[in-house]
Structure 1
Amino acid sequence: MQDLARVRWDDIRLFLAVYRYGTFGQAAQRLGLNISTVSRRLSALEAVLGDQLFERTRDGVVATPMGERALAPAEAMEAALGRLVRDLSADESEVEGVVRLSVAPGMADVFIAPALVRLRAKHPRLRIELDASVRASDLTRHEADLAVRVIEPRGADLVITKLVSTRWVAAAAPALVAATGPVSSWQQVPWIGWDDDLATMPAARWLARCVPDADIALRTSHFGSQLAAVGAGLGAALLPTPYLAVCGLSPLSYARALEPDVAEWPVDTLWLVGHRALRSAPRVAAVWSFLLEELRAPGDAAG
């Protein structure tokens, strides 16, 4: 029979460290304990709960179904303790620890990574783990603490706020724009396109539909390579508007006859997403506020 009165916060903190770091060794280092103490205390917690929280493997630990069920309540306890300490303290709580942030590669390279110097200046004890893969991390499975998404996620466990809406435009290096002048046909310029794995993207579909006979100088699904190729003058590409100023690019001029195509340029809405149980944790709240300051369009409502 479970005796939940014997569960202590220190045991929950230990459980969270083991879950997040995946090995007893890393959890012990983070908590300032030795590995045998971590193993012994975790076994004692499992005995109180009446079930295993982790499967021990040669490479570390893997959460059992019981461990997965325990995660959200444990993080809710962590967030509640953070609020308690913050509210009862005469001074602002120290922001420290690791925040895992999931962002699409292009945004990570051009906007997020360069901005981290300002976040570091505000919170020098904060550590960011930036997941800049194309695959979207699953916040409900705690693969990330915060994410910036183009598609609005759904879920009762998620907190979501709109950052900005951004239109894509046809752009190129200033020299190519000047040499081409106003285009009467999209085929007048070479293009940088997406590879087959991202052919369903709205920008890729526009290029296939409106410029079917385009001279494709480069196909790549690596957004950084697209930006580099466009900046070097290899061709034009459909790009989100904010990248133009940062990367020194110019919009293509076009004849009025092309306006129906222009009306079909995609519009993205960016969403900031977090897990409800972690939203008030000081380390997560600090990054959330920072991302709102950096990415939200002036005049948008606060969230």
Structure 2
Amino acid sequence: MKDPTLAWDDLRMLAQLAKAGGLDAGARQLGISSATLYRRLQSAERQLGVRLFERGRAGYRPTSAGQEVVALAQRMAQDVQTLTHKVRSRQAWPGGLVRLSVGDTWMSGPLPALLAAYRSRAQVQLQVCSSSTLTDLEHGDADVALRTGGVLPESLVGRRLAWVASTVYASKRLGGVQADQLDTLPWVGVDEALAHLDSARWLEQQGLGQQVCIRTNSLVHVHQFVRQGLGLGAIPCFLGDTDPELRRVFDPPRHWRSELWLLTRPELRRVPRIRLLLDALYEGSRPLLDLIEGRGA
């Protein structure tokens, strides 16, 4: 009994026939005769035991079953194109591909300069994904992750880069804000996505939550709103201390510090391109410790 599974050439033929809408046009696109295309269509329909195209004056139109087959062929064609692009990219970059997962806060801070230095030493293609969880690294969707705080899964390995300090900042547009004025001014706060932060818990404990005029799930957004003078807000010192539009309201509280980790999976840590990135980010962050840990102001 003949295998009912269609070959890729059959699927490509059916997709082209659907796109062309007729035997003659489809045959020209495929570089075969109309008779050959007709025979191949009949053979495909016999293999599957269903009618794939309706023949009429208006041309050839896929049936519901034909639409499913054509949709599959189109997805496969896209997958082939994607795979081809990846393979060609790897040929263009002899060092391979390195996928880095990092929160958007760090991409607004010192990380781009460190990645530029790494790229000058490694013939790799970098793929940078914005994420604040470790699931992408654990599931194999990333090779390296830069993460702040939290409990590290036993399935990952890495090293601590620094303690990340944060404090409350005010725009110079608000004038000289003092620590005893906190309950007289509006605030920019975070939503439930960042409610675990020590600074966010402190804000609520101080009874200042009702003065929050805008909430967001991004510290980058907090930074931008604060610099526009919408209110006071807590952000990492590596963002606030480098912004000439901002000033600290008070020194960074020690209990607001969180650990910054550079992580990967155990099987990747000795891969040369991964090892080079881990070393580059660790070594490159050493001169930035005062800034990251809040001693830069």
TM-score (norm 1): 0.59
Q: 1:145 to 1:171 in 2, by over 3 A?
A: same
Residues of 1 paired with 2:184 and 2:254: CA distance? 19
Q: Which whole-Å CA distance do the structure 2 matches of 1:171 and 1:266 have between them?
A: 14
Equivalent position SS for 1:200:
coil
Matched with 2:259 is: 269
CA distance 1:297–1:275, change in 2 (3 Å) = farther
Q: CA deviation at 1:285?
A: 1.4
2:241 counterpart SS class: helix
Letter of the 1:166 counterpart: V
Distance in 2 separating the partners of 1:271 and 1:291: 11
Tell me which amino acid in the other structure corresponds to 1:103: V
Determine helix, strand or coil for the equivalent of 1:148: strand
User: Are the structure 2 counterparts of residues 95 and 298 from structure 1 closer, same or farther at C-alpha, using a change threshold of 3 Å?
Assistant: farther
Question: What is the aligned length?
Answer: 207
Instruction: Please name the residue that 1:109 is paired with.
Output: 108
Contact 1:197 1:221 in 2 (8 A): yes
Match of 2:164 among 166, 176, 180: 166
**For residue 246 of structure 1, what is the aligned residue in structure 2?**
242
1:284 and 2:284 matched: no
Q: CA deviation at 1:29?
A: 5.1
Contact 1:163 1:292 (C-alpha < 8 Å) held by counterparts: yes
Write out aligned runs for 1:60-139 (5 A).
96-123=95-122, 125-139=123-137
> What's the offset of the Cα at 1:130?
1.1
SS at match of 2:159: strand
Q: Flag the 1:263–1:285 CA change in 2: closer, same or farther, 3 A.
A: closer
Distance verdict in 2 for CA 1:237–1:109, change over 3 Å: same
| Residue in 1 that maps onto 2:211 | 215
Q: Give the deviation of 1:180 after TM superposition.
A: 3.3
**In 2 relative to 1, CA 191–29 (structure 1 residues): closer, same or farther, beyond 3 Å?**
closer
Task: Give identity over the alignment, percent.
Answer: 24
Letter in structure 1 aligned against 2:219:
F
Change (3 A) 1:187 1:265: farther
Q: 2 CA distance for matches of 1:206 and 1:194?
A: 12
Which one has more relative contact order, counting CA pairs under 8 Å at least 6 apart? 1
CA 1:245–1:95 in structure 2 vs 1: closer, same or farther (change >3 Å)?
A: farther
Partner of 1:35: none
Shift of 1:122: 2.6
For residue 171 of structure 2, what is the amino acid of its counterpart? A
Q: 1:174: how far off? A: 3.1
Aligned to 2:60: none
Where does the alignment leave 5 or more consecutive residues of structure 2 unmatched?
1-77, 291-297
Q: Which amino acid aligns with 1:245?
A: D
Q: 2:226 aligns to what?
A: 230
Q: Distance in 1 between matches of 2:223 and 2:253?
A: 23
In structure 1, what is the Cα distance between the partners aligned to 2:192 and 2:134?
18
1:152, CA displacement in angstroms?
4.4
Instruction: Give 1 or 2 for the bigger CA radius of gyration.
Output: 2
Q: 1:118 to 1:241 in 2, by over 3 A?
A: same
The answer to whether the 8 A contact 2:219-2:235 is kept is no
CA distance in 2, matches of 1:175, 1:106: 23
Residue aligned with 1:110, SS? coil
User: In structure 1, what residue type is equivalent to 2:247?
Assistant: S
Pair 1:140–1:213, CA change in 2 (3 A): closer
Q: How far apart, in 1, do the equivalents of 2:145 and 2:171 lie? A: 31
Q: For each residue in 1:109-159, what CA deviation from the matched residue of structure 2 results, as whole angstroms up to 9, or x when unmatched?
A: 323234433333233x3211111123433423212101111224132x432
Give secondary structure in 2 for the equivalent of 1:246. Answer: coil
- Give the structure-2-normalised TM-score: 0.61
Unaligned runs of 5+ in 1: 1-21, 33-93, 255-261
Q: Deviations over 1:141-190 (max 9, x none)?
A: 212101111224132x43210100122211122343xx234231421332
Aligned to 2:191: 195
